Structure 1
Amino acid sequence: MNPIDLILEPLGYGFMINALATAVTAAGVCAVLSCWLVLIGWSLMGDAVSHAVLPGVVLAYVFSVPFAIGALLFGFLAVALIGAVRDTSRIKEDAAIGIVFSTLFALGLVLISVTPSQTDLGHIIFGNLLGVSKAELIQIVILGVLALGALLLKRKDFTLFAFDATHAHAIGLNPRLLGAALLGLLALTSVVALQAVGVILVVAMLIIPGATAHLLTDRFGRMLLIAPLISVSCAVIGLYVSYYLDTASGGMIVLTQGAVFALVYLFSPTQGLLGRKIVRSLRRDAASSKHEAAAEH
């Protein structure tokens, strides 16, 4: 089979086209948001919100409303509860995050166990990328466009908040409001990625692309381009590999992202563990060659 056939064969199935569109949408939006999450240090918050939406999804199924509505409500609830525990007690933010997300996630597991269902609600946890319907795809694209549009529209304010919240306050911005908006977008983005990789792996898509881009550049504007480029490429490659190897599609996408991160971690010219040594060695060789050439003249 030639390379063209390898690319075109999966596209002959409607479920693969829906899966590809869903994966690309989720990967792109998650990657853009991940740039801010990595800079602010909100990796654990991403984990909290992505797990906390589980009971909302189950309750949405029970009351026959779109999954996105229940997930969004519980995403915002998680953010509010974390803030309340942190601000009204001596409990620090990391502990508040752990308490809220683990409790809500456990509630979701309990609800799944007692909810009579003709469908397997377990796909909420592990993802059901190959089972995305056209109606669900439309919902995912709409939510993805809204989240991405808001991130890009307010990117300067969010970036200033990420780098220096004090300066943002000094020029008239409200850091608390910006943080709340970013957390709201985190909840919205978690819903977008939920269908692709499930609750458990959403946090990987929210962190790995930004972390990978951060190792490749020191400029935030470039991060916003590199992260989605890497994430979308990994989504497409991971989906194709899962098709031909008959593996879990969401897991393969995240595994591909992890493999790319590992390569960048090792071989990035400026930040890579081995890349820096290779660059220094090449520079020493170049300097030595110049010195020898000058000595000959």
Structure 2
Amino acid sequence: MSPATIAGCGALALWAFLALLSRLAAGLPPLQLTAMGFAVGGLVGLAVVAARGGLGALRPPPIAWLHGVGGLFGYHALYFIALALAPAVEANLINYLWPLLIVLLSAPLRGLRLGPARLAGVGLGFLGCALLVGTGASFPPEAIPGFLAALGCAVVWAVYSVTSGTRRLATVPTEAVAGFCLGTAALAVLAHLAFEATVLPDARQAVAVLLLGLGPVGAAFFLWDVGMKRGDPRLLGTLAYAVPVTSTLLLILAGEGAFTAKVVLATLMVTGGGFIAARARA
């Protein structure tokens, strides 16, 4: 596994903490939480870039700004719309089509070969995710707009991820992600002021926002950019199914749930899918 692919795995590990930290920040409006988290991630990233003398990287071409801010803000805006209009479990299952789409889009957009073993691995990972979050799911007709938003989430993030490594965007330095995070924070502030009432965070919520900004909505995007541009998007797309499983395990350890046979089986399926994909790469 290349160092760039390992960096992408680091992003997946940080995203596993998203649900737990979001629970700690419960009570903050979602768009306000998005704005605060991306502001922390963007400012910390900007400080690191400045310390390394790389502020020139914050002047990428307009297409890169459209791609970066559009991908980050578009995904999160659609995700929150989906959760507001549709049952959370079902919307989350549809959202987790993005790893499968990353694997499938890698062939036409990046010219990377797909084989039966790799497709079997990503399929097994999706089934494990579906078992975990989709058992007993219902799809009421009135929730269709929310389900469409969830599907939009998956498409936006998959396209954003795979196109990060295309010829026109591969040369955009990873340091530019700091600017994309700040641009996303600015858009989230405008949306928050238009649609939500501001809530002053307490100490617990403030710590959760800080950790979110440093990890799942901060460093994770820098690591993911490296993984998508210089790593193996097919393997990362398959391993991404470990995120909902690991996230569930962390919630259980935090007292937010209990171990069940379903959790164990889903973990084995996702792990097996990742192993099959890794062997296919080898």
Which is helix-richer, 1 or 2? 1
TM-score by length of 1: 0.29
TM-score by length of 2: 0.30
